[in-house]
Structures are given as structure tokens and as C-alpha cells.
Amino acid sequence: MAITASLVKELRERTGSGMMECKKALVETDGDIEAAIENMRKSGQAKAAKKAGRTAADGLIVIQMNDDNTKGVIVEVNCETDFVAKDENFTSFANAVAKRALASDVATVEELLDAPLHDGEETTINTAREALIVKIGENMNVRRFQRFESANGKLSSYSHGARIGVIIDVEGGDDDLARDVAMHVAASNPICVSEDQVPADLLAKEREIFKVQALESGKPENIVDKIVDGRVRKYLADTTLLGQAFIKDPDTTVEKLLSAAGAKVNDFKRYEVGEGIEKKQENFADEVMAQVRGE
């Protein structure tokens, strides 16, 4: 596979490493960027691997609930610029999409796009989307949604502006506790509720990386397993909701906070606008010159 400049640039942005290190890593993996990142982490070159899920697109995260907060939905609707994300036409469309996603039983984005935007109308969400593209002049799409239904508790939510949204199913406790935990999820971005929900393949990959790092740092092989076990425990504490230190009181964990209130979190979902999307970098001067030349 050809190692293009754009591929090297993406790897630099995702790891914080130098151009030559990135090019070398890509050559070694025949252009496989995920494998290159893993190898660079093992050798200690990656300085910011967490940038892999960086925000690189605009739009809105919209959350809708029913009247008694037992059903809810979180939706991401994208556009090209933050200017359009604040446009009344776009926000109205995004809210209508979320209401339809909550009221319907569609399972996929494709099915949602074929659903009517409003009750009693023939115009589908996709038709309305295409019309809005023509009107505003920017591409936009409905990227994803997830519907929630709480059987034993109540749903709560938290929105950080319109760019980060969290919907959470909490059983027990009060409304303030549920909102505080939702706010914590927005800030700390855990990957799941508890350790037993961490995907086995992800944990195995992290364990392998920790082992290589320990060996390459010169640690005796007979204590490497203990070092790896300690790092795995810290990884699980840092990445699971129950293991994380509560943002409002770092001296306690979320698990202890919930236990003291006789509450538990059944599930949650956190969306951030554009996470994982590569955003094209525009050069305004070049764009203007292109228009002048009629290109």
C-alpha cells in the first residue's frame, strides 16, 4: 500500500509523533494506521493516542425524553460548520429527527431517514434533509441514534452545550444524583459501566502493550506480570464508570457514590459531535481564488 502524505499527516495528528517516525511506522505496517498506532504505543513514541477519537465535524447532539422519563433517545445530526449548527433551520430539523426517533420503532439510520419528519406529513426525514442542504448550502446527515427504555428506574440526561450529550439509566437515588453521574460521564468519557463489560479483545490488547512497555523499560522478566497486572487494574479504574474518581469529589469513586445512595447505573450512552470523523481542512484564501477563477 502506498504511504501517502495524508496518511502520514493523520498519524501525526493522532499520535503527536514526528513525521519520519510516522512514515516509518506506516511502512512497517504496510499502511495499516491502527497497527502503526499500536506499535508506536509499544515503543513509547505515541504522545497522544487518545486523540484517535478527536472531534472533527460539526452539528448537534439532541436528546429527547417522554413525559415520565422512562423512554429517551440520543441523536447526532451533522453539518459542515459550527455556524450552520446554530442555524434555526438546522436546529429545528435536528430536534424533529430526535422526536421521530423517540416516537418510532425504527432500528437503523436508514429506516429513520425513510420515516416521516412530522406526524401526518408525507415528507420523509431524508427528503427534508436534502431540501435543507439546497437551502443552506452545506452537506448534512443523520449519523447515529440510540433509544433507551428504563424498566426499573428513570432516565436522566446531561448536555454540554450541544456538542456533548449523555443519556443514562439510573435505578435508585434522586434526580440530582442521576444528573451528577450523567455530568460525570460527559466529562470523563468512560467506555462502559463496570469492569466485566470491558471487551475482552480490548483488554487483551492493552495488556500486551503494557507488557511490551515493561520489558522495553528494562524491568526484570520475573516481575513483569505483576507490573502488567497493576497497570491493567489502573486502566480499568480509569476507563470504567464505577472505577473512576467522581468529578465533583475526587476522594470518592462513582461506585461508592452510587452505593451510598442505594443506586446503580444500568446503562448509559455518551455522544460527542464528530468524534472519529476526519474533518477536511479548508483554505479560505484558496477557496476564494477558486471562485474568482470560476473553478
- Both 103 and 65 in one domain: the answer is yes
Q: In the chain, what percentage of residues exceed pLDDT 70?
A: 87
pLDDT higher than threshold 70 for residue 282? no
pLDDT higher than threshold 70 for residue 295? no
User: Per-residue confidence at 278, pLDDT binned at 50, 70, 90?
Assistant: low
Higher-pLDDT residue of 270 and 48 is 270
- Condensed to tens digits (0 to 9), the pLDDT of residues 9-60 reads 888 777 656 678 788 889 999 999 889 888 876 665 433 233 333 333 799 9
- Both 6 and 92 in one domain: the answer is no
Q: What is the mean pLDDT of residues 148-159?
A: 90
Q: What span, in angstroms and rounded, lies between the C-alpha atoms of 35 and 7? A: 13
SS3 105: coil
In a domain, 98, yes or no: yes
Higher-pLDDT residue of 58 and 290 is 58
- Both 50 and 61 in one domain: the answer is no
Q: Mean pLDDT score of the chain, rounded to an integer?
A: 86
- Sign of the alpha-carbon dihedral angle for 24, 26, 29, 34: positive
- Both 11 and 46 in one domain: the answer is yes
Mark which of 90, 114, 149 sits at the end of a domain: 149
pLDDT of residue 103: 95
pLDDT of residue 164: 96
In a domain, 294, yes or no: no
pLDDT of residue 216: 84
Mark which of 121, 149, 177 sits at the end of a domain: 149
- Both 17 and 66 in one domain: the answer is no
Q: What span, in angstroms and rounded, lies between the C-alpha atoms of 121 and 17? A: 53
In a domain, 138, yes or no: yes
Residues 241 and 265: beta-carbon distance below 8 Å? yes
- Both 50 and 66 in one domain: the answer is no
pLDDT of residue 54: 35
- Domain limits for position 12: 1-54
Residues 247 and 188: beta-carbon distance below 8 Å? yes
The candidate with the shortest Cα–Cα distance to 269, out of 205, 193, 197, 162, is: 193
Treating both helix axes as pointing N-terminal to C-terminal, what angle do 200-216 and 33-42 enclose, rounded to 10 degrees? 40
pLDDT of residue 57: 73
- Both 43 and 115 in one domain: the answer is no
pLDDT of residue 36: 87
The one-character DSSP state at 279 is P
Q: If you search the block for the grid coordinates 472519529, which residue do you land on? A: 276
User: Per-residue confidence at 288, pLDDT binned at 50, 70, 90?
Assistant: low
To which H or E segment does residue 89 belong?
A: helix 88-103
CA distances from 47 to 42, 43, 44, 92, 230 (A): 11, 11, 8, 40, 21
To which H or E segment does residue 28 belong?
A: helix 19-28
The candidate with the shortest Cα–Cα distance to 11, out of 35, 33, 31, 30, is: 33
- Read off the CATH number of the domain in which 35 is found: 1.10.8.10
pLDDT of residue 37: 83
pLDDT higher than threshold 70 for residue 292? no
Mark which of 149, 173, 196 sits at the end of a domain: 149
Residue 245's DSSP bridge partners are 253
The candidate with the shortest Cα–Cα distance to 97, out of 156, 138, 141, is: 141
What's the number of domains the chain is made of?
2
In a domain, 10, yes or no: yes
pLDDT higher than threshold 70 for residue 284? no
The lowest-confidence range among 90-99, 143-152, 218-227, 282-291 is 282-291
Strand 154-160 and strand 141-149: the pairing is unpaired
- Condensed to tens digits (0 to 9), the pLDDT of residues 188-244 reads 999 999 999 999 999 999 989 998 888 888 888 788 889 988 999 999 999 999 999
In a domain, 258, yes or no: no
Q: What is the mean pLDDT of residues 4-8?
A: 89
In a domain, 190, yes or no: no
Q: What angle do CA 100, 178, 157 make, to 5 degrees?
A: 25
- Read off the CATH number of the domain in which 136 is found: 3.30.479.20
Q: What is the pTM of this model?
A: 0.72
Residue 50 CB burial class (10 angstroms; 0-12, 13-18, ≥19): exposed
In a domain, 90, yes or no: yes
In a domain, 257, yes or no: no
